[in-house]
């Protein structure tokens, strides 16, 4: 027996005995982990070359894994709730046990592989965020905030001298709208993690498309969240009074926001600035340009907007995040537009890369 036939025999025996779930996508995992390892090495080299940077030895890896697990749980709780609601008509006519058995028999391979793929997704996402934050949290130490005045001026020039948030000043008088934007901005974290995990477990989506999304997200966060954020080091409107030459420019905006005690976003902004002042390396870091919220939301459109219904849902969500980014004081509007542009370019680059890995499937 040749080595090749022996390998094939052993592999078929393992698959037959379900020792290795047949739905494990080793190629996707190999490419993703290879890219993330390279990113982490670059981030560590960059960190070690920064002499005297605050928090040079600190790490938020454990915090990001906690963040990943928490938001994975939130995402799948929502998915399960929606799934149960869609199954209600069947459950009314049949016992839940019968429905569950039928679903399992139809999706046995995928369900067998799911725990392994979810674990791979959680580990890889935590690795990505650790790599990203290793650089982002140290941006002010590498390049002090210097672009806020310029970005604010560019923002105003888009609307003939008026800061974009002022065009929506009426919104602050309608708390339900602001609270909704605040919720959508907050739930973005669960959607970000969930979309990543989905690409590991959703066997109904082509492998090429799932890998394209993962690569595009990685490139978007590396190019936009690390490289461009370093070059255009900026803090954003909510921190404008601390870093600009005109501290009062966004004072009215922040007054509006702090007058609404139900918002989560103002508490998060205060926490980030307190962490920054203490030279801590916690989750997040401070960086305005480009907006990763908007970039990721635009990738949702490109990845999941494949039908008219989903295109409408994802586009509406992107618009809400874009508006919320400056209405809630996190970003200048130009940050969001730049984030979408970076995401679009990275989606195209991801398509070119995947065409070499999955030639028959790449689109």
Residue 360 has pLDDT above 70, yes or no: no
Give 202's contacts (C-beta < 8 A, 6+ positions apart): 210
Asked which of 114-118, 237-241, 286-290, 323-327 is least confident by mean pLDDT, the reply is 114-118
How far apart, in whole angstroms, are the C-alpha atoms of residue 78 and residue 190?
Answer: 10
| Confidence at residue 134, expressed as pLDDT on a 0 to 100 scale | 80
Q: pLDDT band at residue 135, thresholds of 50, 70 and 90? A: confident
Tokens of 44: 């560590």
Residue 189 has pLDDT above 60, yes or no: yes
Over residues 151-157, the mean pLDDT reads 94
Residue 117 has pLDDT above 90, yes or no: no
Cis peptide before 290 (omega within 30 of 0): yes
Q: pLDDT band at residue 293, thresholds of 50, 70 and 90? A: very high
Residue 218 has pLDDT above 90, yes or no: yes
| Confidence at residue 234, expressed as pLDDT on a 0 to 100 scale | 93
Among 18, 211, 190, CA closest to 109: 18
Tokens of 299: 């990738």
Residue 107 has pLDDT above 60, yes or no: no
Over residues 143-149, the mean pLDDT reads 90
Over residues 339-345, the mean pLDDT reads 97
Query: Other CB atoms closer than 10 Å to residue 256's CB: what's the count?
Result: 17
Asked which of 72-76, 127-131, 159-163 is least confident by mean pLDDT, the reply is 72-76
Give 239's contacts (C-beta < 8 A, 6+ positions apart): 145, 269, 273, 286
Q: pLDDT band at residue 22, thresholds of 50, 70 and 90? A: very low
| Confidence at residue 19, expressed as pLDDT on a 0 to 100 scale | 38
Residue 109 has pLDDT above 60, yes or no: no
Over residues 193-212, the mean pLDDT reads 87
Q: pLDDT band at residue 131, thresholds of 50, 70 and 90? A: confident
Residue 237 has pLDDT above 60, yes or no: yes
Over residues 198-202, the mean pLDDT reads 85
How far apart, in whole angstroms, are the C-alpha atoms of residue 254 and residue 237?
Answer: 9
Q: Number of H helices and number of E strands within the chain?
A: 16, 0
Whole-number average pLDDT of the chain = 80
| Confidence at residue 110, expressed as pLDDT on a 0 to 100 scale | 55
pLDDT above 70 covers a percentage of the chain that reads: 75
| Confidence at residue 45, expressed as pLDDT on a 0 to 100 scale | 79
| Confidence at residue 291, expressed as pLDDT on a 0 to 100 scale | 95
Over residues 263-268, the mean pLDDT reads 84
Residue 198 has pLDDT above 80, yes or no: yes
């Amino acid at each position: 027996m040749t080595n090749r036939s022996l390998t094939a025999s052993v592999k078929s025996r393992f698959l037959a005995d379900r020792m290795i779930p047949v739905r494990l996508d080793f190629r996707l995992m190999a490419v993703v982990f290879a890219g993330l390892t390279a990113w982490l090495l670059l981030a560590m080299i960059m960190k070690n070359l920064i002499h005297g940077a605050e928090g040079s030895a600190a790490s938020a890896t454990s915090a990001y894994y906690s963040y990943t697990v928490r938001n994975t749980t939130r995402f799948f709780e929502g998915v399960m709730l929606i799934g149960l609601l869609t199954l209600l008509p069947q459950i009314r006519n049949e016992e839940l046990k019968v429905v569950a058995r039928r679903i399992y028999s139809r999706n046995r391979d995928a369900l067998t592989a799911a725990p392994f793929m979810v674990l791979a997704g959680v580990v890889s996402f935590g690795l990505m965020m650790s790599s990203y934050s290793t650089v982002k949290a140290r941006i002010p130490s590498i390049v002090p905030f210097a672009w806020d005045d310029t970005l604010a001026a560019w923002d105003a020039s888009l609307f003939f001298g008026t800061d974009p948030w002022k065009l929506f000043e009426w919104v602050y008088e309608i708390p339900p709208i602001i609270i909704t934007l605040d919720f959508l901005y907050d739930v973005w974290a669960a959607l970000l993690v969930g979309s990543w995990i989905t690409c590991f477990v959703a066997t109904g989506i082509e492998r090429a498309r799932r890998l394209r999304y993962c690569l595009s997200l990685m490139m978007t966060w590396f190019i936009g969240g690390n490289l461009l954020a370093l070059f255009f080091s900026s803090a954003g409107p909510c921190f404008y009074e601390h870093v600009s030459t005109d501290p009062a420019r966004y004072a009215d905006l922040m007054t509006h926001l702090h007058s609404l005690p139900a918002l989560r976003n103002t508490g998060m902004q205060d926490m980030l600035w307190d962490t920054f002042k203490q030279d801590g390396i916690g989750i997040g870091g401070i960086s305005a340009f480009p907006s990763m919220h908007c970039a990721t939301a635009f990738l949702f459109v490109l990845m999941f907007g494949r039908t008219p219904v989903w295109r409408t849902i994802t586009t509406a969500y992107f618009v809400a995040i874009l508006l919320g980014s400056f209405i809630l004081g996190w970003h200048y509007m130009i940050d969001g537009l730049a984030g979408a542009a970076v995401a679009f370019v990275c989606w195209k680059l991801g398509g070119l890369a995947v065409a070499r890995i999955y030639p028959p499937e790449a689109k």
